A and B are shown apart, each in its own frame.
Chain A
Amino acid sequence: MVSCSRTPARWRSLTESEARLVDLISEQIIPTDEDPGARWAGVVNFIDRQLAGPYRRFLPDYQSGLIGVEETSRAMFGRVFAALKWDEQTALLRALESGKAKGATWETKSSARFFDLIRDHCMQGFYGSPRHGGNRDYVSFRIIGLDYPQIIGQNRYKKL
């Protein structure tokens, strides 16, 4: 029986807590400054959606990797990632990136590899097409100075 009365799950592949963690990590990868960062652009939407599609093969890496991030967080600061200060989160991600992060998960898996995976996916979500769930309103295009849609047909160059 298909029921229409249940509230649909907000995420397609991540759990609520996994999504919250990915969202926080993405903001570290592309932070807000005078321009919006990854959270505003919806990078977590991009990642969640791809993990239910072309990136389904990476879902186990995310599930174990995100557990690893919390292990490292506890080992380094005795708190969950969401409770860390900005600079503590940065330090934690640097530890992951260096491949020297503490935590049971990282005894069998490479933290650097997981970091690189999520870092790359954040870049895709922020700078790729909004149709995939991130880059809300083409915000990254505006930041780097690209018109969207592109203005075509102006004679802005000299004739040969």
Chain B
Amino acid sequence: MPLKHVNALIVGAGAGGGVVAKELAEAGLTVVLLERGPWPQFSDHDHDELISQRTTVLGNSFGPDDSRWRRVVVDARGREEIVLASEGGYSNVAACVGSGTASYGALAWRFMRQDFRMKSTYGPVAGSTLEDWPISYEDLEPFYEKAEWEIGVSGTHVENAFAPPQRKPYPMPPHPFTREGVLLDAAARRLGWHPFHPPMLRNTVPYGGRPACIRCRYCVGFACEVNAKCGTQNTVIPRAMETGNCDVRTGCVASEVVMDARGRARSVKYFDPDDRLQEQTADVIILACSATETPRLLLNSRHELFPKGIGNRYDWVGRNLQGHAYCGAAGLFEQEVYDDIGPGVCVALCDFNHGNPGLVGGAMIANEFIRLPYIFTGRRPPGSPSWGLAHKQFQRQYYRRSAGAQGPVQEMPVFEARVDVDPKLKDYWGNPVARLSGSRHPRDVEVGRFIADKCEKLLQEAGAVQTYKRIPGLGLSGGQHQAGTCRMGSDPKTSVTDRFGRVHEVDNLFIADASLHVTNGGFNPALTVMALGYWVSQHIKTQWKGTHFRS
């Protein structure tokens, strides 16, 4: 029996899709929200370091699972490798309701004004498809604010000297500094920099009917034990369901967007939890499956108008895959700097996001999340023994006497860094898997060195007796900050969607995830994805005419 037609069908219940579901359901549209994974449960893996979303050696705690998900990764020399979902090159994002927002570190950045105008600010960069966003910070500002209040952000809006204008303060105060935070804050001030408490999507006081953070040592990579971390799974998605208009279908894997003869999106074919093929029709379809799975779904959806995949007339779908070139430094101290108070990150600075002499862009710098015991076994000064008595002694001596600072370097988009679909390998359901290839722009490494130097300086000023740096390489980016693969723009020949996330030439097909990012900022991108969810929804709502979309 065919499924009942609905107004809006959203694929992917993460940072973007969750927001769209709530906005459209509250506006009175009937909504189906498809999610490939289940609802996340803390008790599934609780504080197990080896099965988390960060350290995935024994598997991804919230999926995708190794038994059904694979990708092909092509390295710089053209060698292909089939990777499992829990292996590094796969670039996983959690497969559960909330997706990464259930297990992230929850930094809640607004991008800066310049981040939307990279080409105007710095001029063209050779070998990069660097471009301005078709929307400005001012366009997105009200939607950042909405995300901050509806999903919940703690922080102070007056401390960051480089922050773009913000009309309304955050709804919650920040956590106080830890012992490490006090040290690094003072050191940064001595250097003439401007440290502050970074904004976080985490309750520091009870908010939204959920309790405050208990400051345990396990945060990034884990679901929150007391539900203090604010994701779409415990805020906007439940609100969408409360309207009675939103049907959340978990365990459903989309395989194709179907278009009709008039060139409009008609339905999505998906496999339900029993692996039966279903087809859900809708007036408007919104894809929010991540910057690797959204382009894959478009490329796996062929139509006579789009023989190379929907929206791919000019070969831009899947291009410009970006993440962040993480870099930084670690420092060893004589005294204990660790006080076992989570989540770890508590001090940040934006002195080096822009305006760095001779460089394009930069990065926010912050201290690290708590490094758990197994991760710490790989954090060693270059040339240190990686096993034996000396390794064990280092672990014992320095676990509580080390600190780190790092930053997500804004990457230059590269056309050849891309998500494609593999011509041979199919997944469990018979759909071609994603194929990732390409490499970073050399300028990202330059900026990485610069930022790592600053991190090292910060740790030295804080009293570290030994420091060592981490510089990014040229390997393909992506990872959990993946973005850029269905760029928004005003020219259909050099972008995939218009400024409202609508796929060029398809009136009723939208994208609402980090695929839209033209550039990815020098910041964790989650809050921007949420703001884009509100931005895209706002447009859909104003275009909505009763029972049909724009007709």
A-to-B contact residues, CB < 8 Å: 28-31, 33, 35, 37, 50, 53-55, 90, 93, 119-120, 122-124, 127-129, 131-132, 140-141, 143-147, 150-153, 156-160
Contact = CB atoms under 8 A, between A and B. Distances in A.
B280 interface: no
A39 B215 CA distance: 34
Contact of A143 (B47, B214, B396): B396
A146 B214 contact: no
B466 interface: no
Given A129-B49, A144-B400, A160-B174, 10 more contacts: A28-B388, A29-B391, A54-B59, A93-B387, A123-B378, A127-B373, A132-B50, A145-B400, A150-B216, A160-B173
Given A124-B50, A132-B50, A144-B373, A119 B387 contact: yes
Contacts of A28: 387-388
Instruction: Pick the 9 closest A-B CB pairs, nearest first.
Output: A144-B399, A127-B373, A127-B374, A128-B50, A123-B377, A160-B176, A29-B387, A129-B48, A54-B58
A29 B174 contact: no
Contacts of B216: 150, 152
A38 to B, nearest CB: 9
B50 A157 contact: no
Contact of B396 (A35, A55, A131): A35
B227 to A, nearest CB: 15
B57 A30 contact: no
A124 B177 CA distance: 31
B377 to A, nearest CB: 4
Interface residues of B, number: 38
A99 to B, nearest CB: 14
Contacts of A30: 387, 391-392
B386 interface: yes
Interface string B391-405: 111011001100000
Contacts of A132: 48, 50, 58
B373 A140 contact: yes
Contacts of B242: none
Contacts of A156: 339, 341
A146 B340 contact: yes
Given A128-B49, A144-B400, A157-B339, A31 B377 contact: no
A144 B396 contact: yes
B373 A141 contact: yes
B485 to A, nearest CB: 30
Contacts of A158: 176
